[in-house]
Structure 1
Amino acid sequence: MASQFEGFIKKDKNESRISYLVETKKDQNPCFPQAPFEILSNYQSQLKRLTPQKSNEPTAPQTTNGTLKFSSNPVVSAVFIMKLARMRLHEDCSSYSINPFKFQSMISVDNLKDVELASNLLMAAENLSIQQFDSAEKFLKQCVLLASPCDSPLRGIVTYFTDALRERIDQERGRIDLERKIVDLEEYAMMFKSVFLSCEQKLPLSQISQFTGMQAILDSVASARKVHVIDFGIRSGSHLIILMQGLASRKDHPVELLKITAVGKSKNRLEKTGKWLSSFAESLNLPFLFKTVISELNDLKEGFFEVEAEEMVAIFLSLKLCGILAWPRRIENFIGFVKKLNPCVIVVVEMEANTNTPIFIDRFYEAIFLASAIFDLLNTCLKGDSMFRKIVEETYFQQMILSTIAEEGEGKIQRFAKIDFWREFLARFDLVEAELSPLSLYQANLVLKTSPCWSSATVDMNGKSLILGWNGTTILSLSVWKFDHKLETETN
């Protein structure tokens, strides 16, 4: 991984970089986030060679000649505890009698209790998978007792997965909770906009994916006079500020119009985001037009989008394909619809995990390690912001866990797939994976160096795609796609 970054840093040493430092009007809206611009401007003069930091994560226990060896590093994460618990579970079911509780000199008493807690959760899931519901519920009762108070990433994970497993058991047994509250993520995003903005600026993977994704679009529309960005998951809209600053700073090929079309279900939220972005565009003297499309992804029609002949269209898909992945016809229709918009580039950000499997226990283990890594990240980067962290956990991530573990059939299912799956799937629509520019990769590494607490973030390449993780556990993939019209012609 280090050698890959060294290569493009050497290559781009003398190339100019886009400056994201904003010079705004004195009466600029005070809620414009400044952190994204400070990130790169703080490093504008530092063109020295950068290599990723070594992880502080203790390595997974390794077995050598029947002896377990642990890292001497005192940091013990939720992911590490889950690995110990799974090892304990598998060894207890095999000919080995190795028990992590023999390693008391390696980890603290509290960590041993966490291993016991995690083991109960895994046993509940294993029993549920073979329809031993009474046994599963007994283990879940132990989880409730041991996880309180919920004062650590591990205990938070256990609490949310316990709730999801209980709901799954209720469904299997025909017990339906008619009063269950469905979280509307778009409404929560509007209610807690300032919270999500603050969190986005403090989370390395969010910042890296935003800067890299917007740079990929800037690279693809470098000579376009009219740029039309269709965003299917605009959320706070802070990533588009990066794009707007990049376009406004152009000296060659000045932009005549930037049009952004935001797709979503909440008209009120989208319009508020549009006003916010319009004010920012005005501060940059950037010709700007904001449009909204109120629709689900599976209900889109061509007439919803006003695409002019001279516009160059770019599409941003951040954590949207996972919402329709469980329905093959829906996702195929959606990609076919996107193809009709004739975009010059499609940027895709997705979770790098495989929960798109009908086998429950496989889905559970993928989800538990993904969520554990995310909660470790939140705990590190939002330390001191416990209220913010709680809001983020209880809205987006609690819903993600519930959807992955408990939802089936016609429910609001969210399923994740890894980059290898997306390569195979998108190739069926004549989509070709494009290279990320050296500038995009260089900026990703600059962002990584912004905060000391981000040293556990990992940035790697899988083919042409960027893979982002925490302490070695993959969390996000970012890939860039373009339609190969030659392939389309040959096929026809």
Structure 2
Amino acid sequence: MRFSENGIHFLRNPNQRIKIRKASMNIMVKVVGDVLTVVVTLSIFRVTMIWVCKCLNFSSQANSSPSSGNSTGSLIEGFVDSPVSTPRLPEMFGDSDSIVQFRKGFEEASRFLPNHGSLFVDVESDRLFLKELKEEAKDAVEKVVNEFSPDGSRGKKKPHPGDVNLDSGRSNKQSSIYTESTQNGQLKGSTGGKARGNKGKRNVVDLRTLLTLCAQAVATDDRRSANELLKQIRQHSDPTGDGMQRLAHYFVDGLEARLAGSGTQSYNPVVTRPTSAANFLKAYHLFLAACPFKKISDFFSNTTIMHLAENAARLHIIDFGVLYGFQWPCLIQRLSSRLGGPPKLKITGIDLPQPGFRPAERVEETGRRLANYAKTFKVPFEFHAIAQKWDTIAIEDLKIERGEVLVVNCMFRLRNLLDETVVVDSPRNKVLNLVRRLNPDVFILGIVNGSYSAPFFTTRFREALFHYSTLFDMLETNVPREIPERRLIESEIFGWEAMNVIACEGAERIERPETYKQWQVRNTRAGFRQLPLDKAIMKTAKERVETCYHKDFVINEDNGWLLQGWKGRIVYAHSSWVPAS
């Protein structure tokens, strides 16, 4: 009797009732979940067994059929090899018996669900909870049933019209890329940023957009977004991949160095590159074979010099940016076959000093190689090496003599001089004034046609991306990926230049190109007059490009400039000048 009284008192205690209710609900949820799991599993097992039986029945029918080409062939072989077997597949997978069995399993599961709240202590909301639980279970099962309806379609969801091919079912088209970006740098698309197509395909990534977003994050010092984007770009960039993946590999190095504030330490100027002359020569030969840019440049310069020195007894060439002197062996060979014999040739090779105890070592080595080459072709030769900052060179340093034909040649290297955005009396203008005072017979200028020297980083980055995308795309189209010299060109030339553009500022940023129209204005202000473009040179250059190179190379003329480019974008330009007075 005491036990009963205590039990009644226990149940009348509100706190104890709440505890019993919570415990009972937890137990009930677990029991119902376990029962549903078991019954649904049994139902799926039943459906599977029915499907297996039908497969075996189908296999036996196929094997006993008189029209079967191979009576011992397996079911799988019939699916793969026999065109007759394929149309019969929907008969199995679209059978309504499987759905009926699944519904029966759900009904059996429903019997285990209580219809009242007997386990709970007289709480109306508990009965509502059970009712909702049963309805949710029913909705879940109905959703599975609809996913595999008897007509073979997946529920009520209609296939995308662009994904269906009348001949072969679902098409394998690539996903469309949208350049619209989200706050976290993810790309938006019609599928929420995921690439459509077959499972297992790698998602399509717009590296150009990711690089631009990352540059904007770096410019605003948004380190969190920048680091996330850097990680994404790293995952999809590859120095051995396609053109855009290779470009992204080097551009992300520059962004990372700029974000870390180590741009100057990460970049070594052109004069301190560790690449040997032999390796650089291999890359140079590959560049000559892949594109006409350097060949046309040398042809323009050497032909201009040959016309000028047709009857000269002495020829003096001052070469700003001589580097390894690869341009001059061809001219030496042509001079050796000149009617009346070769002139006495003197080349003054000028380049920036190398660090260390022998700043002129590379320039002097270039002179020795050219001297040996000239000796082979019996051309009288003299070489004078200068390794110092170009704006500090005086006229006396160049050893100009009376009676010699004087040529000043500069191919693509004036872009490495600082302009007036850094210092008022810029080295660029100083060198042009020096050339004008030399009063040469011709000043031959080749320039990199670029707009990526703006003081604003985001603008500069975008223009650099356009420029180097053109060069990497050109290599991707014309050079196989596995050739090691291609990586040498991309890493030691284009990659280092991009690193300087992206990571460095002030005097450390020496990659400062201008467009040919800007150089037109600059040279005119410096006191030069432009010579008309030789029509014979233009005609020959155009014929060589059209007959020997890819159709997307551009060769054109504009306002006395010979223009070279790729797919409509001008990359290099050439012109010749003389002092105006």
Same fold (TM over 0.5): yes
Among 367, 389, 393, which residue is 1:274 paired with?
Answer: 367
- Could you tell me whether the CA contact under 8 Å between 1:458 and 1:472 is conserved in 2? yes
Among 275, 293, 304, which residue is 2:386 paired with?
Answer: 293
> Match for residue 161 of structure 1?
251
Matches within 5 A, 1:451-470: 451-452=548-549, 454-470=550-566
Report the Cα offset of residue 242 of structure 1: 2.6
- Could you tell me whether the CA contact under 8 Å between 1:186 and 1:269 is conserved in 2? no
Among 393, 406, 420, which residue is 2:490 paired with?
Answer: 393
Report the Cα offset of residue 331 of structure 1: 1.1
Query: 1:192 and 2:273 equivalent?
Result: no
Q: 1:181 to 1:373 in 2, by over 3 A?
A: closer
In 1, distance between residues paired with 2:418 and 2:264? 27
Q: 1:399 to 1:110 in 2, by over 3 A?
A: farther
In 1, distance between residues paired with 2:190 and 2:535? 48
Report the Cα offset of residue 299 of structure 1: 2.4
In 1, distance between residues paired with 2:407 and 2:344? 14
Among 265, 268, 271, which residue is 1:182 paired with?
Answer: 268
Matches within 5 A, 1:376-415: 376-383=473-480, 386-415=483-512
> Match for residue 309 of structure 2?
221
Query: 1:481 and 2:481 equivalent?
Result: no
> Match for residue 248 of structure 1?
336
In 1, distance between residues paired with 2:390 and 2:233? 38
Q: Which runs of 5+ in 2 are unaligned?
A: 1-175, 355-359
The CA RMSD measured in Å over matched residues stands at: 3.2
Cα offsets for 1:7-61 (capped at 9, x unmatched): xxxxxxxxxxxxxxxxxxxxxxxxxxxxxxxxxxxxxxxxxxxxxxxxxxxxxxx
Report the Cα offset of residue 112 of structure 1: 7.0
Report the residue type matching 1:151 in the other structure.
G
Among 391, 406, 419, which residue is 2:516 paired with?
Answer: 419
In 2, distance between residues paired with 1:413 and 1:185? 12
In the comparison of the two structures, how many residue pairs are matched? 389
> Match for residue 94 of structure 2?
none
Q: 1:98 to 1:430 in 2, by over 3 A?
A: farther
> Match for residue 212 of structure 2?
122
Secondary structure at the counterpart of residue 307 of structure 1 = coil
In 2, distance between residues paired with 1:149 and 1:258? 43
- Could you tell me whether the CA contact under 8 Å between 1:200 and 1:207 is conserved in 2? no
Among 72, 88, 113, which residue is 2:179 paired with?
Answer: 88
Q: 1:101 to 1:191 in 2, by over 3 A?
A: farther
In 2, distance between residues paired with 1:358 and 1:291? 37
Query: 1:113 and 2:200 equivalent?
Result: no
Q: 1:281 to 1:191 in 2, by over 3 A?
A: closer
Report the Cα offset of residue 292 of structure 1: 0.9
In 1, distance between residues paired with 2:325 and 2:229? 42
In 2, distance between residues paired with 1:408 and 1:190? 29
Q: 1:226 to 1:149 in 2, by over 3 A?
A: closer
Report the Cα offset of residue 118 of structure 1: 2.5
> Match for residue 318 of structure 1?
411
Which is bigger in relative contact order (C-alpha 8 A, separation at least 6)?
1
In 1, distance between residues paired with 2:407 and 2:460? 33
> Match for residue 41 of structure 1?
none
- Could you tell me whether the CA contact under 8 Å between 2:237 and 2:249 is conserved in 1? yes
Report the Cα offset of residue 99 of structure 1: 6.9
Secondary structure at the counterpart of residue 322 of structure 2 = coil
> Match for residue 300 of structure 2?
212
> Match for residue 259 of structure 1?
346
Report the Cα offset of residue 283 of structure 1: 2.9
Cα offsets for 1:99-145 (capped at 9, x unmatched): 7999x99xxx9897242x32211111123334433222221111011
Report the Cα offset of residue 437 of structure 1: 1.1
Among 274, 289, 309, which residue is 2:402 paired with?
Answer: 309
In 1, distance between residues paired with 2:436 and 2:562? 23
Q: 1:196 to 1:272 in 2, by over 3 A?
A: farther
> Match for residue 461 of structure 2?
364
Cα offsets for 1:69-125 (capped at 9, x unmatched): xxxxxxxxxxxxxxx98x724899xxxx987999x99xxx9897242x322111111
Report the residue type matching 1:419 in the other structure.
Y
> Match for residue 15 of structure 2?
none
Mean Cα deviation higher: 433-442 or 180-189: 180-189
- Could you tell me whether the CA contact under 8 Å between 2:258 and 2:503 is conserved in 1? yes
Report the Cα offset of residue 405 of structure 1: 1.3
Report the Cα offset of residue 387 of structure 1: 0.8
- Could you tell me whether the CA contact under 8 Å between 2:444 and 2:575 is conserved in 1? yes
* Aligned residues with identical type, % of pairs: 22
- Could you tell me whether the CA contact under 8 Å between 1:189 and 1:235 is conserved in 2? no
Secondary structure at the counterpart of residue 557 of structure 2 = strand
Matches within 5 A, 1:324-363: 324-326=417-419, 327=422, 329-363=426-460
Report the residue type matching 1:198 in the other structure.
H
Greater Rg over alpha carbons, structure: 2
TM-score (norm 1): 0.71
Among 237, 240, 252, which residue is 1:147 paired with?
Answer: 237
Report the Cα offset of residue 307 of structure 1: 0.7
Q: Which runs of 5+ in 1 are unaligned?
A: 1-83, 486-492
Secondary structure at the counterpart of residue 293 of structure 1 = strand
Q: 1:123 to 1:358 in 2, by over 3 A?
A: same
In 1, distance between residues paired with 2:264 and 2:331? 44
Q: 1:181 to 1:476 in 2, by over 3 A?
A: closer
Report the Cα offset of residue 469 of structure 1: 0.7
- Could you tell me whether the CA contact under 8 Å between 2:267 and 2:500 is conserved in 1? no
Report the Cα offset of residue 164 of structure 1: 0.8
Report the Cα offset of residue 276 of structure 1: 2.3
Report the Cα offset of residue 451 of structure 1: 3.4
- Could you tell me whether the CA contact under 8 Å between 1:205 and 1:457 is conserved in 2? no
Report the Cα offset of residue 318 of structure 1: 1.2
Q: 1:112 to 1:423 in 2, by over 3 A?
A: farther
Report the Cα offset of residue 236 of structure 1: 3.2
Secondary structure at the counterpart of residue 474 of structure 1 = strand
Secondary structure at the counterpart of residue 235 of structure 1 = coil
Among 545, 552, 562, which residue is 1:448 paired with?
Answer: 545
Mean Cα deviation higher: 381-390 or 309-318: 381-390
- Could you tell me whether the CA contact under 8 Å between 2:263 and 2:500 is conserved in 1? no
Q: 1:143 to 1:314 in 2, by over 3 A?
A: same
In 1, distance between residues paired with 2:257 and 2:577? 38
Matches within 5 A, 1:1-12: none
Report the Cα offset of residue 216 of structure 1: 2.0
In 2, distance between residues paired with 1:480 and 1:278? 27
Q: 1:462 to 1:399 in 2, by over 3 A?
A: same
Matches within 5 A, 1:424-439: 424-439=521-536
Report the residue type matching 1:146 in the other structure.
H
Secondary structure at the counterpart of residue 427 of structure 2 = helix
Q: 1:127 to 1:295 in 2, by over 3 A?
A: same
In 1, distance between residues paired with 2:479 and 2:305? 29
